[in-house]
Amino acid sequence: MEEQQKNELKMWLVFYLCKGLGPKKLDLLKQHTELTHLLTFSEAQLASLGLSSDIIKQLLHPNWYYIDTLIDYLSQNAITAIYYSHPCYPSQLKEISAAPLILFCKGNIDLLCKSQIAVVGSRSATPNGIEIASEFASAMSHQGIVVTSGLAGGIDAAAHKGALAVSGETIAVVGTGVDVIYPKKNRLLFEQLLSSGLIVSELLPGTKAHASHFPRRNRIIAGLSLGVLVVEAEIKSGSLITARYAIEQNREVFAVPGSLFNPYSHGCHYLIKQGAKLTETLDDIFEELGLLVKNGLYNKVEVDNLEQVDPVLTQLGYEATSVDVLAERTQIPVEQLLTRLLDLELANQVERVLGGYIKLRSY
């Protein structure tokens, strides 16, 4: 990192760590002085700008040792800090209220400024919901759209996997530090995202999961995206919080209808009643956003060699089957079976659940 970049990052880390100093206040301060001057001004000069005594104290006495240590950690762990004035900071995100001052990123930061659509939904989604989310994500990827979600279980994971399965691009906005894998069951997906996508958080590296982090995370998911697609959600759920943020941020909201007997459809039906676009195909989304569909490219992606009977898929059903039972049924050595299951999971054909694996599609 060049010295000038490092000094600019240090300045923004001071602002980030200063409680009560957000982008709106900084924009106001820029009308009166250069932001770099805030770290050299005296107490009287800072007070003349209308800053509170608490903010003044923090600006006068930054913890430079901690900031230098943090910058070293970022460098050692391939974490990029995209601060508010950084050329890679998404202009779309600056439009929202309380935009994050810094985005900590691991992966391909070029994805930040590409066109994105968020796909969100229940952590306890049905196999049908998981398949729908996966297919929409794959279709979006074929159109060059980046699929953005939250790396949670259920719909979020299906959306990321659907994009990765067709070599698409996907962003995970997490409610932890970008170096913290949460939930643990998504370790494989986390690693895939690091090599083929991007993991983003406004939280400091090392930050553990906490309930209060996820609503904050949801506003970033909505803020990065042109629109939010909700696939299976309960009335009281984080997905509806994301949809609410999307509405507040003047983004489009799309909802997939479902069975009246499925409690995870109630949130989508509620959104549709409130004006969300009832969504059955990618055309519905692109029409609302004014995007053009590349003819014939977004149809359901067929899995290679579908005609060939896969013994693992043949022996898997929609109820969890353990690896031991599957090895006995298929007569495949466990080590080879685990490798095959990994391939199938990355192709979004099977899902690892409590008690083993389930098949996601009918073959």
Q: Tens-digit pLDDT profile for the chain (363 aa)?
A: 688 889 999 999 999 999 999 898 999 999 999 999 999 999 999 999 999 999 999 999 999 999 999 999 999 999 999 999 999 999 999 999 889 999 999 999 999 999 999 999 999 999 999 999 999 999 999 999 999 999 999 999 999 999 999 999 999 999 999 999 999 999 999 999 999 999 999 999 999 999 999 999 999 999 999 999 999 999 999 999 999 999 999 999 999 999 888 899 999 999 999 999 999 999 999 999 998 777 544 333 333 333 346 788 888 877 788 999 999 988 999 888 988 888 888 878 888 888 888 887 544
CATH fold match for the domains 109-289 and 311-359: no
CATH class entry, domain 311-359: mainly alpha
What local confidence, expressed as pLDDT, does residue 295 receive? 55
Map out the domains of the chain as residue ranges.
Answer: 3-76, 109-289, 311-359
Residue 25 to residue 255: CA distance in whole angstroms: 36
**Cα end-to-end span (Å), the chain:** 51
Q: Does domain 109-289 have CATH number 3.40.50.450?
A: yes
Q: Which amino acid is located at 324 in the chain?
A: D
How far is it, in rounded angstroms, from Cα 222 to Cα 212? 17
Which pLDDT score, from 0 to 100, does residue 1 have? 65
Token digits for 363?
A: 């073959």
Which string of b and e fits 9-34 if b means at least 16 CB within 10 Å? Answer: bbbbbbbbbbeebbbebbeebeeeee
